[in-house]
Amino acid sequence: MISCSRKGIEIIMCLFCDIIDGRLPSEKIYEDEMIYAFTDKYPLTPVHFLIVPKMHITSASEITRRNSKYIARIFEKLPKIAKSQGIDSYRIISNCGEDAGQTVKHLHFHILGGTDLGEKMI
């Protein structure tokens, strides 16, 4: 992923941009021109996939008027994508920042399901 800043050209290494662009392999679930969904490499529940904007957005705290259409697309498509994975009840998690446990700095939503997750959030 290459981005331009006022200081010049900055190259950002991003695992999920590499996955989206096909430079790294992934188990694709869904793709359109704005979003990409793929199985989490280390699933925490029987169904655990990630859904990401194709635009590099660092985290949920970087959503703006300019890029929010990518987020809208994610939530418009999510019910059908989840259904394609055999679930219509699921938990959506987006870790935002280091203390929240965000390890990949490309906004992503974890979709967890396929089992009774209980009422406790954490």
Positions marked catalytic: 108
Q: Pick from 2, 11, 80, 101: which binds ligand 5GP (CB under 6 A)?
A: 101
Smallest gap from residue 26 Cβ to ligand 5GP (A): 5
Phi, psi of 82 (to 5 degrees): -60, -45
Measured CA to CA, the distance from residue 43 to residue 62 in angstroms comes to 26
Q: Pick from 103, 119, 121, 122: which binds ligand 5GP (CB under 6 A)?
A: 103
User: Under the criterion CB under 6 A, does residue 102 sit at the interface with ligand 5GP?
Assistant: yes
Identify the CA nearest to 74 among candidates 106, 103, 121, 120. Answer: 106
Binders in 16-45 for ligand 5GP, by CB under 6 A = 26, 38-42
Q: Which residue is nearest to Zn ion (CB)?
A: 14
Between the alpha carbon of residue 35 and those of residues 38, 48, 51, 108, the distances in Å are 10, 17, 7, 10
Smallest gap from residue 40 Cβ to ligand 5GP (A): 5
Which single residue is written with the structure tokens 């009422």? 119
Binders in 46-85 for Zn ion, by CB under 5 A = 56
